[in-house]
Amino acid sequence: MRHNFYFILFGLSFLWGACEKTPIIKQESTVLIDSRDSTTYATVVIGNQRWMAENLRYNALGSWLNPNNPSIAYGRLYDWATVMNGVSTSSLEPSGVQGICPSGWHLPSDVEWSVLEIALGMSSSDSITMGQRGTHCTAMKSTTGWANNGNGTNSSGFNAFSAGFFLSGTFLNLGDGSTSFWSSTEKTATLGLYRSLGNGATVHRYYYSKTAGLSCRCIEN
The model's pTM: 0.87
- 157 closest CA partner among 28, 48, 6: 28
| Across 34-59, average pLDDT | 97
CA separation for the pair 160, 220 (Å, rounded): 18
pLDDT, average across residues 192-197: 98
pLDDT average, residue stretch 156-183: 96
One-letter amino acid of 101: C
Give the model confidence (pLDDT) of 102-134 as tens digits: 999 999 999 999 999 999 999 999 999 999 999
127-149 per-position pLDDT tens digit: 999 999 999 999 999 999 999 88
For the chain, give percent helix, strand, coil, nearest 5.
20, 30, 50
Asked, as a colleague might, if the bond just before 94 is cis with ω within 30 of 0, I would say yes
The arithmetic mean of pLDDT across residues 146-175, rounded, is: 95
Share of the chain above pLDDT 70, in %: 87
Mean pLDDT of 150-165: 97
Residues 60-82 have pLDDT tens digits of 998 999 999 999 999 999 999 99
Averaged pLDDT score across all residues of the chain = 89
Cα Dmax for the chain? 70
pLDDT at 57: 98
Q: Which whole-number Å values give the CA distances from 40 to 20, 77, 189, in the listed order?
A: 36, 18, 34
